[in-house]
Structure 1
């Protein structure tokens, strides 16, 4: 008789096989191993009650997965599966002899564009949590130089504080929306978001509830007002109209 525990054991064996090849269980959703859909299986395991509703069974299964890869569920560390996989890819490239300066957009590992991802990490350094910054720093990665910002002045020579404050609020809102979008896409593996969907996200240790469906709709309606960097960030996350 085929039981749920037997199925879990078979999928766990597939996860071990994938780890032996890729060095991580930060698996793309479409990945397979030993003819098992290990990517989808791990995605399901990471969801609430994904290891079963029985607490004791779920605890045992979590321990079994942690024995294969202690970082099998990156959300517990404060980042996404996508971030974890790219970080492992960066490590693999460096271990193979590549220099940081050589890892530019277009340099890939197992199908992921590590160079493009690395450019984003350096550009968006302030959005990373302390542990992410530490891990990248250990590999010789640091923040990109801050761009020089132009300021506008009023007729009497004073800076326009109201405009600057408004721009800061807008940037913070975009940052929250982008973080929520990345989290949603990484979990659900799709970019079609129900308009009524609200995505809880943690940024700099603070909880936010982002009305993600509405936010995406608003960005699309005002896309002519988004700057090139914001459009590029949305495009990087698979938003086709950007």
Structure 2
């Protein structure tokens, strides 16, 4: 069997390594992250429905993505987390993004 040194200087059997740590490994059913435009659209829908963007940090929006027909699937987007991240990164966002979010009711403080 092939062995390789670990960070601590010991050797480990390659066959004993967890395959989930291999580069590019994805669990069954794992999905790519939704694009930012999907998060923006979810925020816009939340604002239209609720009248504000004071989204609780743990709030999850359910979105239907894909074209009409068989390719549609429901996805979950952690909108509260995304909104919080946009607020905390306000200084590094593009002016277009700030304007876009402000237009749908984003409060920056």
| TM-score interval, smaller chain | 0.5 to 0.7
Q: Which residue of 2 aligns with 1:193?
A: 55
Q: Which residue of 2 aligns with 1:232?
A: 99
1:198–1:212 CA contact under 8 A, matched in 2: yes
| C-alpha deviation, 1:240, in angstroms | 2.4
- The structure that is strand-richer by fraction is 2
| C-alpha deviation, 1:232, in angstroms | 0.9
Higher-RCO chain (CA-CA 8 Å, sequence separation at least 6): 2
Render the CA deviation track for 1:22-73: whole Å, top value 9, x for unaligned: xxxxxxxxxxxxxxxxxxxxxxxxxxxxxxxxxxxxxxxxxxxxxxxxxxxx
1:198–1:211 CA contact under 8 A, matched in 2: yes
Alignment of structure 1 residues 49-68 onto 2, 5 Å: none
Rounded to whole Å, the distance in 1 between the matches of 2:58 and 2:95 is 27
SS at match of 1:239: coil
Q: Which residue of 1 aligns with 2:28?
A: none
Unaligned runs of 5+ in 2: 1-31
| C-alpha deviation, 1:222, in angstroms | 1.2
Tell me the TM-score normalized by structure 2: 0.57
Q: Which residue of 1 aligns with 2:4?
A: none
Rounded to whole Å, the distance in 2 between the matches of 1:195 and 1:229 is 24
Render the CA deviation track for 1:99-144: whole Å, top value 9, x for unaligned: xxxxxxxxxxxxxxxxxxxxxxxxxxxxxxxxxxxxxxxxxxxxxx
Alignment of structure 1 residues 60-99 onto 2, 5 Å: none
Q: Which residue of 2 aligns with 1:173?
A: 35
RMSD: 2.4
